[in-house]
Structure 1
Amino acid sequence: MKKLSIVVPCYNEEKTIVQILSKIKDVALLENTNKEILIINDCSTDTSEALIKKFIDTHPALSINYFKNDSNKGKGASIQIGIKNATGDFVIIQDADLEYDPNEYNVLLQPILDGFADVVYGSRFMGSKPHRILFFWHTIGNKFLTFLSNMMTNLNLTDMETCYKMFTSPIIKSVSLKEKRFGFEPEVTAKIVRFPNIRIYEVGISYYGRTYAEGKKIGWRDGLYAIYCIIKYGLFKAN
């Protein structure tokens, strides 16, 4: 029996946290793969913590580990806590909003279970699944960051910045991650490519994006910092 560890960083997501946890709960994984949920509350100031604890209390059969940062440390720091404490054979990152659909875990899991992949990225820019139409410049920015990252890594990804990244545990646990906030995506991409004979796949996923009014947090400053991380970890191969 295999196990998928689902790492859920959460910061002020009271509007969506229960819905996303319910979706995770209801997912039936391939080949009877078990689920482990790791929720990392990044010192939320809204009612996220109360909602999370109530969900845990009302679903005692679920394997859920809950962590709370003593200060707001950032998404990357929360992901690091989740990876460190994950006990599954595979690890996936799941944002606490509703932009990504947990029902597509199996799409990412299949190439790994079939023995083809060590890492699978879910791309918002390929395939025929639904994608909400939102920000032109945000899309251009994502594609530019992916292009720049690909130049440094010699990969041909279409969506380096995607949240949905699934790893075999030995791979991701061997990566020394440093970025505390939104630098996780370019850092982990630059570092996993250094593994000898690493097998990276990409599959199309849906994307139910949200507006800033609906709670989207990443902005243009994070894009500039991503460029810095791409150069730091890609071009200069910083550890």
Structure 2
Amino acid sequence: MRKEKKLLVYIPALNEESHIDHVIRQIPKSIEGIHSVDCLVVDDGSSDNTAAVAISAGAHVVSHGRNQGVGMAFQSAVQYAWENDYDLLVGIDADGQFDPAEIPMLIQPLLDNRADMVVGNRFTQGRPEYMPPIKFRGNKMVAALVSSISGQKFQDVSCGFRAYNREALLRLNVFEKFTYTHESILSLVYQGLRVMEMPISIRYFPERKSRVAGSISNYASKTSKIILRVLLDYRPLRVFGMLGSIFFIIGLAFEIFLFAFYMINGSFTPYKSAGFIGLGFIIFGMLIFLVALIAEMINRLRQSQDRLMVELKRRRFK
């Protein structure tokens, strides 16, 4: 018989006093296979009464003195889950877009040991009603990029409604303040954990202005940097190897052109400089290959350290 588990539902909040009470009270109090359900609100520097409203609704509250971003709010929730011996963590937004009644469905693959992380998928029926088209297209582009570099097909990698088991919580390495959604998926996939998607319902409110749609270039820039950093952390040989190959091939093309020109005309003039340019590209490409090998060795050392850290966490929070 499966041991019943402790569930923590985490809600990041910034000035959400008008919505947070309803979201907290809609969280199921009893779920089959779950011994206890608790709610944690991470108040990320709100200037209104978000924290007080959350406490009156029955939630635990961790308050940041200033706004630190959803990435830091997520790290606070993970730390709280470790320290208070929770087996499962579910993240849900504070604005009422997601349905807390779907939490049992979201965590079922974790209870059945079919996944270590479950991500809500908002796009099984296409673009949700009232979702800004530019936001929808941006999400699909990021999902395609994450799918490409992770080797696993994803439709929605930016959804904040997601669930983690204890093994995933122990292995998570999230450093970004801006967001954690893409980094957490890539980190766990690269460590060999099972990440799956689950269709969920989503409600967008036409009267609410989308902050993402107004700053899509800034969002894309920050997201690209996060994904690149994760790639450098977990796949440095792939990144530097590809970059080195580009320079090497360009240099080789210069040299082949110069050699063919000499064979036809018996002289390097007037393309003698092409030989030096090609040689420069080849040398630079080989230097990048060397960096790739060094980075891969560092990556292997980091993986050993990560495994050690997981064991230390497991012993401390067992």
Q: TM-score, normalised by structure 2?
A: 0.66
**1:191 to 2:187 alignment:** yes
Match of 2:73 in 1: 78
Match of 2:254 in 1: none
| Structure 1: distance between partners of 2:210 and 2:30 | 28
Match of 2:98 in 1: 100
| Structure 2: distance between partners of 1:214 and 1:146 | 24
CA change 1:27–1:207 in 2 (3 A) is farther
Match of 1:60 in 2: none
For 1:117-170, what per-residue CA distance to the aligned partner results, in whole angstroms no more than 9, with x for missing partners? Answer: 111111001169x94332111100000000011111111011011112211122
CA change 1:32–1:188 in 2 (3 A) is closer
For 1:59-79, what per-residue CA distance to the aligned partner results, in whole angstroms no more than 9, with x for missing partners? Answer: xxxxx4211101111111011
Is the 8 Å Cα contact of residues 153 and 234 (structure 1) preserved in structure 2?
no
| Structure 1: distance between partners of 2:47 and 2:211 | 15
Aligned length: 227
Q: What amino acid sits opposite 1:227 in the alignment?
A: S
Is the 8 Å Cα contact of residues 120 and 202 (structure 1) preserved in structure 2?
yes
Secondary structure at 1:13's aligned position in 2? Answer: coil
Deviation at 1:217, TM superposition (A): 4.1
Task: Pick the aligned partner of 1:30 from 14, 29, 32.
Answer: 32
Is the 8 Å Cα contact of residues 89 and 164 (structure 2) preserved in structure 1?
yes
Task: Pick the aligned partner of 2:160 from 140, 145, 163.
Answer: 163
Is the 8 Å Cα contact of residues 152 and 235 (structure 1) preserved in structure 2?
no
Q: What amino acid sits opposite 1:210 in the alignment?
A: F
Secondary structure at 1:71's aligned position in 2? Answer: coil
Match of 1:121 in 2: 119
Match of 2:136 in 1: 139
Structure of greater relative contact order (alpha carbons < 8 Å, 6+ residues apart)? 1
Secondary structure at 1:30's aligned position in 2? Answer: coil
Secondary structure at 1:122's aligned position in 2? Answer: strand
CA change 1:185–1:195 in 2 (3 A) is same
Is the 8 Å Cα contact of residues 36 and 88 (structure 1) preserved in structure 2?
no
**1:214 to 2:217 alignment:** no
Is the 8 Å Cα contact of residues 111 and 120 (structure 1) preserved in structure 2?
yes
Q: In structure 2, list runs of 5 or more residues that go unmatched.
A: 237-301, 303-318
Secondary structure at 2:33's aligned position in 1? Answer: helix
Is the 8 Å Cα contact of residues 51 and 61 (structure 2) preserved in structure 1?
no
| Structure 2: distance between partners of 1:214 and 1:127 | 22
More displaced stretch, 149-158 vs 214-223: 214-223
For 1:71-127, what per-residue CA distance to the aligned partner results, in whole angstroms no more than 9, with x for missing partners? Answer: 111111011101111132111111111111111111211112122111111100116
Is the 8 Å Cα contact of residues 10 and 77 (structure 2) preserved in structure 1?
yes
Match of 2:281 in 1: none
Q: What amino acid sits opposite 1:187 in the alignment?
A: E
**1:227 to 2:229 alignment:** no
Q: What amino acid sits opposite 1:111 in the alignment?
A: P
**Structure in which a larger fraction of residues adopt helix:** 2
The share of aligned pairs that are identical, in percent, is 23
| Structure 1: distance between partners of 2:30 and 2:56 | 23
More displaced stretch, 213-222 vs 173-182: 213-222
Task: Pick the aligned partner of 1:45 from 28, 32, 47.
Answer: 47
CA change 1:226–1:210 in 2 (3 A) is farther
Match of 2:17 in 1: 14
| Structure 2: distance between partners of 1:39 and 1:162 | 18
| Structure 2: distance between partners of 1:187 and 1:15 | 30
Match of 2:170 in 1: 173
For 1:184-215, what per-residue CA distance to the aligned partner results, in whole angstroms no more than 9, with x for missing partners? Answer: 1111111011223x22221100011235x526
